[in-house]
Each structure stands twice: as structure tokens, then as C-alpha cells.
Amino acid sequence: MAAAGGFRTVEPLEYYRRFLKENCRPDGRELGEFRTTTVNVGSITTADGSALVKLGNTTVICGIKAEFAVPPVDSSNKGYIVPNVDLPLLCSSRFRPGPPGEEAQAASQFMADVIENSQVVMKEDLCIVDGKLAWVLYCDMICLDYDGNLLDACMCAFLAALKNVQLPAVSINEETGLAEVNLKEKTPLTIRKEPVAASFILFDSLLIVDPTAEEEDLATGTVTIVTDEEGKLCAVHKPGGSTLTGAKLQDCISRAVTRHKEVKKLLDKLIKSKKAK
């Protein structure tokens, strides 16, 4: 047992290759298998919507807070959605103290792009009074435990938290011109599209799904595919790394579509059980 641990530290590539020869991975999964996903919504009562997602060991919590803002001048009937991914020091010993590192910034930018392109929520729905008042949704995703595949977990947490958001009814007092919030009347958001991400790594010309942190370190390239509920592509993210043939990319896309169905079933079951309470 100590010898196996030793081999793993000293020659991680060889250790990993021996598992791949048997068509499985060190944690016992197959090459195309995702880790167990658990989702929990509504645990943070100070946030307007919250969700906690555990993808194997990777844990991400998403809290959404809604505030008032003035709509932008060029599109006066739109609100804002501001995502932010935070990788604090506690999630893994690999992160150093200081301003957000490139991984956190890249993840935040990825989330912003997907939200913009997939039109998860129509920004027009967030407008209260044209040109004067709109909602801004601050979506903060904090990674509590980093064990690889951050983007999938963030996407899932974000979607689950959005489904959990309840916005209060707002009316404008005609005399004072100020907004009045009615906390007793709350309505959920209209979610137009449901994007779900699936990440893969490239290793020795093999495609491996849902990498752990160890596997990510050994990988030579990564691919993330985001699909929506109609099987359409929302985003394909392949930031450099080793090359991929067109056929392999097609494999990724079909695996991503299957993953979407799995996650959708999980989220629907969760929302239904929450409503039943």
C-alpha cells in the first residue's frame, strides 16, 4: 500500500497510464463516467437564491443577491447579471493569497460568456421601469473544495441557484417616485434556457470525462462543452492544449448532451420536491 502511494508520488504519469490500460481510472470510474453529483438549494436565507453542488469532492456554493440599479443608457430596458467565481485559499493548498488568480478570472469570464450567449434569463425580464430602474443579479460562486472540473460545478450551481431565486414585487410610489418593495409577494425568475457544462481532458490521445485535480495536472489539454435542453450548443471552450480531431469533438458533444439529460433530471426532481414542501 505504501509502495503504491510511493509510485503515485514519484511517477504519476506511469501510475495513471497503468490504470488507463485497464480502461479505468484511479478512483474506479470508467473513462466516460461522471462523479456523483448532489445538489442542495435554498440553504442560505440571506441570499435571494442559493445552491450548493458537490461533484465528487469538488464543492461549489452559489449565492445570488438582487439589487436595484439604473439600466444602461444604450439599452434602457435591460437589467444586469454579474457572475463572479471565487477560488479562496481554503479550497485547495495550490492557491496563493492575494488578488484573484488567473484561474478564477478565466472561470468568471467563461460564466459571463455563457450567460450572455445562451440567454439563460432575458435581461428584459429584469427591467422594472424602462430607463429608471432594473434588477441587477450578483451571482457569486465560491469554491469550497477544489478537486478538478470547476466549470461544470459552477455552471450547475449557478443554474440551480437561479431556479431558486424569488424576486419580490416592486411598485413605484407615485408621490415620492421611490421604489417600494413588497417582500410578501415573491415570484420566481423565468428561465429561458438551461445550460449545462461537460468538461473533458485530453491525455495520450484519449478523452477522459470529469477530471479530478490530479488528472487535470497530468492532462495535455481540456475541452468544455455547454449544451442547452434542446440539444443545441451554447459554448465550446477549448483553450489551446493538444490537438483534437473533428470526430473526437463530435464524441464530446454527444456525451455532453447525455450529461445534460442527467443533470436536468436531477434538478427537476429537486425543484419538484422543494415545491411539494
Partner 1 sequence: MAPARYCVPGERLCSLEEGTPGSGTYTHHGFIFASLAGCFMKKSENGMLPVVSVMRDVDSQLLPDVGATVTCKVCSINSRFAKVHILYVGSTPLKSPFRGTIRREDIRATEKDKVEVYKSFRPGDIVLAKVISLGDVQSNYLLTTAENELGVVVAHSEADVRMVPISWCEMQCPSTHAKELRKVARVQPEFLQT
Partner 2 sequence: MAGLELLSEQGFRLDGRRAGELRQLRARMGVFAQADGSAYLEQGNTKALAVVYGPHELRGSRGKAPHAQALVNCQYSMATFSTAERKRRPHGDRASAEMSLHLKQTFEAALLTRLFPRSQIDIYVQILQADGGNYCAAVNAATLALLDAGIPMRDYVCACSAGFLEDTALADLNYVEEAAGGPQLALALLPQAQHIALLELNARLHQDHLPRVLDAATQACRHLHALLDRVVREHLRDAAALLGK
Give the footprint of partner 1 on this chain (CB under 8 A): 2, 5-6, 9-10, 93
CA dihedral angle for residue 70, residue 73, residue 77, residue 79, rounded to 10 degrees: -50
Residue among 12 and 42 whose Cβ is closer to partner 1: 12
User: Between 64 and 93, how does the x/- string for binding to partner 2 read (CB under 8 A)?
Assistant: xx-x----------------x-x-xxxxxx
- Which DSSP symbol is given to 34? P
User: CB of 204 within 8 A of CB of 17?
Assistant: yes
- Which DSSP symbol is given to 155? H
16, 63, 120, 199: which one binds partner 2 (CB under 8 A): 63
> What is each CA distance from 51 to 42, 74, 246, in whole angstroms?
6, 33, 36
208 lines the binding site for partner 2 (CB under 8 A): no
Residue 86 binding target from partner 1, partner 2, none, CB below 5 to 8 Å by type: partner 2
Residue 10 binding target from partner 2, partner 1, none, CB below 5 to 8 Å by type: partner 1
> Cell numbers of 262, please?
442527467
Residue among 9 and 190 whose Cβ is closer to partner 1: 9
Q: CA–CA separation, 145 vs 130, rounded Å?
A: 42
Q: CA–CA separation, 195 vs 3, rounded Å?
A: 44
> Cell numbers of 115, please?
450567460
Residue 138 binding target from partner 1, partner 2, none, CB below 5 to 8 Å by type: partner 2
13, 24, 70, 144: which one binds partner 2 (CB under 8 A): 144
Residue 50 binding target from partner 1, partner 2, none, CB below 5 to 8 Å by type: partner 2
96 lines the binding site for partner 2 (CB under 8 A): yes
Residue 171 binding target from partner 2, partner 1, none, CB below 5 to 8 Å by type: none
Helix 150-164 and helix 102-118, axial crossing angle in degrees, nearest 10? 50
51, 53, 115, 147: which one binds partner 2 (CB under 8 A): 147
> Cell numbers of 194, please?
438551461
